[in-house]
Amino acid sequence: MRGLPPTLAALLVGCLPAQAQDPFVDAAGIVPGLVAEMRYAGSHNFVGRPIAGYEAPRCLLTAKAARALANAQSDLAPRGYGLKVFDCYRPTRAVADFVAWAADPAETRMKAEFYPRIDKRDLFRLGYIATRSAHSRGSTVDLTLVRLGGGGEVDMGTPFDWFGPESAPGWRHLTPSQMAARGVLRNAMIRAGFRPYAQEWWHFTLAGEPNPATAFDIPVR
């Protein structure tokens, strides 16, 4: 389900025809009312600084994924919910940046917020950091629910990018309202054509994505 190693991905991108060099759209122009807090373009993330390849706080996706996300947004609106995105397309250089960060056990400035009960040395073994990411194909999105009318984020049981078993969609110790909220998000995304991910309630990949074997390294600008 994930992309390719950064070095191979860069070679593939370099071989793409000219018309494929900009394969993404800005989801904000496709999904009415979409809220965006692009975490890796700033410092509020598990690394604690902007991540390589994120030069602007934009949610870039393939057009097919953006249209599907618009369908999910429309599905949720009658229930009083909307979508807030944290990450969309992710350049392979960003994946490499995560890998380099994870290989440095001394850098733990954001541990208390994002992985307080996980030893950083175990992030690879536990699958929280990997050398490839589905995000690099442009049809995967990390997101949550917000209440329409400025009500803020819905309580999903953990924050986005929480490293721990609590982030699994079906974690047993959620409150009934947290479990219901995860179900609302999951069901809306599935109806729109996305597949959920077993370890993270916020992570969804479009089924039938247009670039299933290509990881891109185009910077987010």
The predicted structure's pLDDT at residue 22: 77
CATH code of the region 1-11+23-140+179-221: 3.30.1380.10
Distance from chain centroid for Cα 129:
13
Among 28, 49, 37, CA closest to 97: 49
Select from 161, 182, 174, 156 the least CA-distant residue to 118.
Answer: 161
Residue type, position 141, single letter: V
Residue 142, marked binder: yes
Question: Tens digits of per-residue pLDDT, 82-139?
Answer: 999 999 999 999 999 999 999 999 999 999 999 999 999 999 999 999 999 999 999 9
Give the pLDDT confidence score for residue 65 in this predicted structure.
Answer: 99
Q: What is the DSSP letter of 42?
A: S
What pLDDT does residue 205 have? 99
pTM (2 d.p.): 0.90
Rg (C-alpha) for the chain, rounded Å, is: 17
135 assigned binding-site residue: yes
- Annotated catalytic sites, by residue? 200
Residues 145/84, Cβ–Cβ less than 8 Å: yes
- pLDDT recorded at residue 209: 98
Q: What Cα–Cα distance (Å) separates residue 211 from each residue in 32, 33, 139, 188, 195?
A: 25, 26, 8, 23, 15
CA atoms within 13 A on the CB side of 4: 15
| Cα distance between the two ends of the chain | 25
86 contact partners, CB below 8 Å, separation of at least 6 = 37, 38, 39, 142, 143, 144, 160, 161, 202
Query: pLDDT (tens digit, 0 to 9) for every residue of the chain, 221 residues total?
Result: 344 444 444 444 443 433 344 799 999 999 999 999 999 999 999 999 999 999 999 999 999 999 999 999 999 999 999 999 999 999 999 999 999 999 999 999 999 999 999 999 999 999 999 999 999 999 999 999 999 998 899 999 999 999 999 999 999 999 999 999 999 999 999 999 999 999 999 999 999 999 999 999 999 99
